[in-house]
Structures are given as C-alpha cells and as structure tokens.
Amino acid sequence: MNRPHGYARYKLDGCRCYPCGWAVAQYNDARDHAIRRGQWHPYMDAEPVRQHIRNLQECGLGLRSIAVAAGVDRKRLQAVLNGRPERGTPPQAQVRPALATAVLAVEPSPDNLPDATVINAVGTTRRLQALVAAGWPQHYLAIRLHMTDSNFSATLRRDRVMVRTARAARSLYDELWRADPHEFGVDNQAYSRARNHAASRRWAPVNCWDEDTIDNPATFPEWTGMCGRPEGSYIHERIGVPLCPPCLEARRAHNRQRYAEKKSLSVMEATG
Ligand SMILES: [Zn+2]
Ligand SMILES: [Zn+2]
C-alpha cells in the first residue's frame, strides 16, 4: 500500500522527495499567510482551513478526531467543509481566525491517528534502540509491548509500523528513558548484554535525541552535541562512532576551505 506523494506521504511515511517537500512547503506558506492575515481581520478565508481538513482526512483522521484535537465543535468543521445542507447553506467562505488557527495547528500524529494507520517507523525504532542502548534488554521491552521476542526484533528493522505500535513504544520510552533498569529487576549481565548489543550496532542512545527530532526522518542522532560543526568530527573519533552525515558534510567543507587557502597561498608565493 503506497500513499501518493504529497502531504500525507510526507507526514506519515516521512518521504522527503521533491514533490512531497513542495506540497508541504506550499501548504505551510498558505497556512502562515492565512494566520498572518487572521491577526488583522475579524474573518479570514476558509479555503486554507478546508484544505487542511482534507489533508488531515487524507492521513486517515476523522472529522471527530480533528475536532477533538482542535478543541472545536465537529459541526463547525462540517459547516466549513460542506456547509449546512439542512439549512441550504454552502460551505462557509470565511471563518473566525480563532477557529482557523485551532484547526491549522492540528498535525497528524500517533496521538490522533487511528490505531491501524501505517506510519513510518523512525520514531519507534529510534526509541526502542535508545532504550536497549540504555541497558533495557530486548526481552523485557518485548514483554512490556506484548510482543514475542522475534516480533520485537522484527519491529526494530521495519520501515513502517502501525500507529498502535508507535504509541505503545512512545509511552514505554517516556516511562523508561531515564529510569534505572536495575530497579526494574534487570540483572547486571542482561544490562551489559543490552548495552553491548546496541553499541555494536551503533544504536543511538537516549541523549542523542530530543522530542523535537526523534520522529523526524530528516534528522540524525546528535552523537557529539556538536554534530555538523567542525568540533563534532573530533568527538566522533574520540568516542569511536563513525561520522554522522552532518559531521561528514562539515568535515568536507572544512577540507575544501583548507585546500582553497593552501592554493591561494601557493599562488601568492609563486607570484611574490
Ligand atoms: Zn514523496
Ligand atoms: Zn556528528
């Protein structure tokens, strides 16, 4: 099952291809424009709101969940979308800015998507891998997620998971990420086995992530605290973790610059 490229594919599958990026950028522009206009006008154009509701529906959100997430009455969304057929009114041309901003702020996420919706697995695998890196045995995590061991290790390799799995993994992570496995009955041997397993696979530990980046497929684990800066690559070497893509890029830029400096120096020496 493949979603067409566009808003839903970008948000749910993490596709970062050009058409998906374009669709979301266009959409964000229209939304920001609508919100800015709304700050000065008692009413604003309903079309961006309607478009956003359709985008969310395309992601699998029902009108009821959108209404709950936005904190507005479902009937008001229906009026924006379809008008009030019983009164013979067409879809609303304009809406109050408060309604618009509330609806436009709703993003598809494991919080509001239906359980069986399939989404990209990055947030799930990153969280589970980070827990193993923190010394939580896979067997323990599998039990907590009501999975068999083999199902659990398969989940770690999946590109896509169901929303229900993503949600369960997230709440387990929220509970355990700063807890001590020993206090949950994990013995020393299982603890070090988990940590070694994660280290040998270079699974990024908890401190490489924050809530803003962990679900975003375009982000990388922050191994050094300075990734993407020249200092980052030295820290990579010290901790024995291969350069992450941003650090690789920073190293290349640095080398290019050194090369250019050397070259201009030798030109100066030759001419001087
Ligand atoms: Zn795409
Ligand atoms: Zn790095």
Report pLDDT digits (tens) over 22-72: 889 988 888 888 778 777 778 888 998 999 999 999 999 999 999 999 999
Render pLDDT for 87-109 as a digit per residue (tens, 0 to 9).
888 898 999 888 998 999 999 98
- Determine the distance separating the centroid of ligand 1 and the alpha carbon of 45, expressed in angstroms: 28
CA 248 / ligand 2 centre spacing (Å): 7
Distance 10 CA to ligand 1 centre (A): 6
**Which ligand sits nearest to residue 241's alpha carbon?**
2
**Which ligand places an atom closest to the C-alpha of 238?**
2
pLDDT at 132: 98
| 181 Cα: distance to centroid of ligand 2 (angstroms) | 28
Q: Tell me which ligand sits closest to the C-alpha of residue 232.
A: 2
CA-nearest of 203, 133, 125 to 165 is: 125
**Cα 8 to ligand 2 centroid, rounded to whole Å:** 30
pTM to 2 decimal places:
0.79
For the chain, which residues make up each domain, given as ranges? 7-104, 118-206, 230-271
* Rounded CA separation 23/33 (Å): 15
Going from the Cα of 1 to the center of ligand 1, the distance in angstroms, rounded, reads 14
pLDDT of 43 reads: 84
Instruction: Give me ligand 2 centre to Cα 136, in Å.
Output: 25
**What's residue 1's pLDDT?**
61
pLDDT score at 183: 96
The answer to whether the CB of 77 falls within 8 A of the CB of 65 is no
Per-residue pLDDT of the chain (272 residues; tens, 9 = 90+): 678 899 999 999 989 888 889 889 988 888 888 778 777 778 888 998 999 999 999 999 999 999 999 999 999 999 999 998 888 888 989 998 889 989 999 999 888 999 999 999 999 999 999 999 999 999 999 999 999 999 999 999 999 999 999 999 999 999 999 999 999 999 999 999 999 999 999 999 999 998 888 998 888 999 998 999 888 999 999 988 889 889 999 999 988 988 888 888 787 777 76
Report how far ligand 1's centroid is from the alpha carbon of 76 (Å).
Answer: 32
CA of 238 from ligand 1 middle (Å) equals 37
Q: State the Cα angle at 166 between 139 and 113, rounded to 5°.
A: 155
